[in-house]
Structure 1
Amino acid sequence: MEKYGAFRDKGSGIAPFFPVPSQPAGVALPFHVFLFICRIPILLTATLSYFLVFCWLPIGSLGKKAALWIILGVPGIWWIDLQVDGVKKGSIGQYTRSRLPHPGSVIASSFTSPIDALYLAAIFDPLFTASYPGTRKVQRLTLWQAMFYALSSPPTQPPKNAKLVDLATLIKEHPDRCIAVFPECTTTNGRGILPFSPSLLSVPPKTKIFPVSLRYTPADITTPIPGAYWGFIWNLCSKPTHCIRVRIAEYMYNQSTASAAPKEPPRRNSYETNLLDDLHKTEMKPRTVVPVDQDGMPNDEEQKVLDKVGEALARLGRVKRVGLGVDEKAGFVQAWTKRR
C-alpha cells in the first residue's frame, strides 16, 4: 500500500478513498449465500415496482415513504440510531419543525453510499442535488440518479449538458420541499470529511442548513470506488442486518450572504440636507454594486460558513476533516483501477 501513500491525508494519515473490507464469512458463508439468493428477487421487485409504478402514482408523500421503507427493510436495514443535537431521546416528535429538516430548509449530508439518498427520501422526501467543485450552482437529481451518483466517477467538473441552478432558485421554486446537498461532491468510506464545494454559499441567509451525518455498521456498504455495483449488492444483501447511525446537528445559516449584502445609506431628514448636498450628489457618479462571482473562490467570510458545516459533520461522524478532494480521488481511482 505504499504506492497509495499520496492518497492519505498528511496531517491525520486517514485514507478516505480505500474500500472497507468485509469480514470473512467463514463457516457462515452458506448462510450468507442463502440470504443473498432469497433477497435479490424481492429487492429487485420492490425497487422496480417503486421506480416504475409507485413514484408516478398520486399516492402522496406518506405512501411513497412507506414503499421506500420496504426497500430498506428487504436487505435488513432495520435499526436506525437517530440522535439530534439538543434533543433528548424519546422527545424528537416535539421538535419536528425547529430541530429537524423541514420544507424550505437545506440538508448538508455526508456522502458514502447509495443508501444515503434512499434513507433521506424515506424520512424527509427532499429534492436531491449534485454539487461540483469550483461552482456554486448545483444539478437537480431524481432519487434514482442520486443513488447512482454515489456509484459514479468523481466529477471534476459539471457535465456539458447539465442544467445548473443555484440553491436559492430551487428553494424559491419548491417551498414545500427541503433540498438535499452532498457538498463533498463524491463518496468516501466514511472515515473523513472532504473539502466542500461552494454550492452551500448560494443558500439564502434566512434558510436553515441542517448538517446530517449517516454512518453504517458494518461499513462495507460504503462505495468509495465507482462502479462497484456487484460488491455493494453482495455486501448489502448477504448480511443479516445493517445499522444506520444518523446524527443531525443544530441548524445554521449562511451568514456570509447576509454580510455581503449591500447596505443602504441612512436616510436623513430635510433639516440635515441643503442645496449644496443635492448638487454634490448630482455631480458624483452613481455607485455600482459589484455582483458576487458565482463561480469564484470563497472569500474569508464564506469559507468560515463552509468550515462550520464541515466541522459539524466531522463532529457528528466522529471523524476528521481531510485535505484530499475530488482531484485526489480521481487520481486514486485511476491508480486503483490500473492495479486491479
Structure 2
Amino acid sequence: MEKYGQYRDKGSGIAPFFPVPPLPYNPLFLPFYILLLCLRVPLVTVAWILWLLIFQWTPAGGALRKANLWCILGIPGVWWIDIQVDGVRRGSLAQTPRGRLPGPATIIASSFTSPLDVLYLAAIFDPVFTISQGPDSRLVRPVSLEAALAACFDVHSPAVFHARQPPATLSSVIKQYRNRVIVVFPEATTSNGRGILRLSPSLLSATRDTKIFPVSLRYTPQDIVTPIPGWMEALRFVWLLNSRPTHCIRVRIGTPVTLASAGAPANSHTTGNSNGKRASGYDTNFFDTLEGSPAPKASEESAVAEGVSEQEIKALDAVADTLARLGRAKRVGLGVAEKKQFVDAWSKRGKYRT
C-alpha cells in the first residue's frame, strides 16, 4: 500500500478515501440476504418513483413528503436512530429549547459520507441542499434531492449536476428560502468517515449572525459509506444497504456557531470566489476522546490562503473541530484535490483492498 501513502494524512496516518471493507457474510445466511435484497429493492424503487412523480412537488415540510422519505429509509432497514444534541441530556430531546436545533434561516454543516446523509436530513428537516461550487470557492449551488444524492457518487465539479439555480452565496440562498433550513457539505466530497477533510470556504459566504449547526452522521455497520465514486460503488451501496436486516444512524448535533462568534471579520460573506489554495493547516489533528475533551486550537503554522483571512480560517476551524468531536474522528489535511488524484490511482487498481 506504499503507493497510496501520499493519500494518508501525514500527521495521523488516516486514509479517508479508502472504501470500508464490508463485514463478512455468513454463507449459511446468504439466501436470506439475497431474499431481503429481492424484496426491498422493488419497494424502494416504487417509493422513489412516487417521490419523483408526486411527492417532491408537494409543499415543503408536508407530512406526505416526509412520510415518503421515511419509507425510502425504512424499507432497507434504517430503523434505529441514535440522536443526541450538545448540551441536552439523553432522554430529554423533547424538551430541547428551540434555538438548539436547526430551524428556518439556519445552516446545517453536515458530514458527508453516504447517500443516507442526504435522505436522513431530508426526512427530518426537508431542507434546501447546496453543493459547494469548488474546494476553493465561497459559492454554493442549490440542488435538488436527486442531485445531492448523485454528488455522493461523483468527485467532479457540481456543475455537472442538474442544479436548479446558478451559483450563489449562502446569504442570498437564505434570503430566497427564508422558511427553510439550508444544508451545506463543507468537505465538498464524500469520505469514509474516519477523518474530517479540509473544509471549503463556502460557509464564509453566510452572514455573520447566521447560526451554523455542525451535524455528524455515522452508521453501523460502517461499510455503507461511499468514498469512491462511480456506478459500481452505487451498486455496492445498494447491495450492502438492502441485504442487511437493520442499520443504525448515530446523529450528533453540535452547539450552533456564527461567523461573528468564531472570529470571522465583518466582510466574511463577500460574494467573490477564493481561488487560492490553503496550505495544509491541519498537521495538528483533533482527537475526540470518549470524555469529550474540548477541541484544541488549530495549528499555529496554518497558512492563510489568498482571499481567506486568518480570522476566517479560525471560523472554519471552529466548525471542523466540532465535526471532529461529534464524529469522534480526526481532522486531516486532505481535500477534494487529493481525492481526485486518489480516485485516478484507485481506478487503475481494479480491486478493492484496504
Tell me the TM-score normalised to structure 2 length: 0.84
Contact preservation (8 Å) 2:210, 2:258 = yes
Q: Over residues 278-326 of structure 1, what are the superposed CA-to-partner deviations in whole Å (9 max), with x where a residue is unaligned? A: xxxxxxxxxxxxx785425311000000000000000000000000111
Q: Would the alpha carbon gap of residues 29 and 104 (structure 1) be closer, same or farther in structure 2, given more than 3 Å must change?
A: same
SS in 2 for 1:130: strand
- Distance in 1 separating the partners of 2:74 and 2:160: 34
In structure 1, the residue matched to 2:286 is: none
Contact preservation (8 Å) 1:256, 1:301 = no
Q: Looking at CA atoms only, which structure, 1 or 2, has the larger radius of gyration?
A: 1
In structure 1, the residue matched to 2:176 is: 173
Q: Would the alpha carbon gap of residues 133 and 60 (structure 1) be closer, same or farther in structure 2, given more than 3 Å must change?
A: closer
In structure 2, the residue matched to 1:3 is: 3
CA RMSD of aligned residues (A): 2.0
In structure 2, the residue matched to 1:282 is: none
Which runs of 5 or more residues in structure 1 are unaligned? Answer: 263-290
* Residues paired across the two proteins, number: 311
- Distance in 1 separating the partners of 2:10 and 2:210: 35
Find out whether 1:112 has 2:117 as its counterpart.
no
In structure 2, the residue matched to 1:327 is: 337
In structure 2, the residue matched to 1:280 is: none
Contact preservation (8 Å) 1:106, 1:181 = yes
1:224 maps to a residue whose letter is P
Contact preservation (8 Å) 2:263, 2:311 = no
In structure 2, the residue matched to 1:273 is: none
In structure 1, the residue matched to 2:56 is: 55
In structure 1, the residue matched to 2:321 is: 311
Which runs of 5 or more residues in structure 2 are unaligned? Answer: 275-305
Find out whether 1:146 has 2:142 as its counterpart.
no
Q: CA deviation at 1:153?
A: 2.0
- % identity of equivalent residues: 54
Find out whether 1:137 has 2:139 as its counterpart.
yes
- Distance in 1 separating the partners of 2:69 and 2:25: 29
Contact preservation (8 Å) 1:134, 1:297 = no
Q: CA deviation at 1:158?
A: 5.0
- The aligned runs of 1:271-290 (5 Å cut-off) are none
- Distance in 1 separating the partners of 2:8 and 2:154: 21
In structure 2, the residue matched to 1:75 is: 76
Q: Over residues 35-55 of structure 1, what are the superposed CA-to-partner deviations in whole Å (9 max), with x where a residue is unaligned? A: 111111111111111122121
Q: Would the alpha carbon gap of residues 308 and 116 (structure 1) be closer, same or farther in structure 2, given more than 3 Å must change?
A: same
- The aligned runs of 1:1-340 (5 Å cut-off) are 1-26=1-26, 27-58=28-59, 61-95=62-96, 97-131=98-132, 132-155=134-157, 163-227=166-230, 228-255=233-260, 260-261=265-266, 293-295=272-274, 296-340=306-350
- Distance in 2 separating the partners of 1:69 and 1:220: 21
SS in 2 for 1:55: helix
Q: Would the alpha carbon gap of residues 168 and 53 (structure 1) be closer, same or farther in structure 2, given more than 3 Å must change?
A: same
Q: CA deviation at 1:96?
A: 5.2
Q: CA deviation at 1:257?
A: 9.5
In structure 2, the residue matched to 1:281 is: none
Tell me the TM-score normalised to structure 1 length: 0.87
2:217 maps to a residue whose letter is L
Contact preservation (8 Å) 2:264, 2:315 = no
- Distance in 1 separating the partners of 2:109 and 2:118: 12
- Distance in 2 separating the partners of 1:122 and 1:334: 34
Q: Would the alpha carbon gap of residues 203 and 6 (structure 1) be closer, same or farther in structure 2, given more than 3 Å must change?
A: same
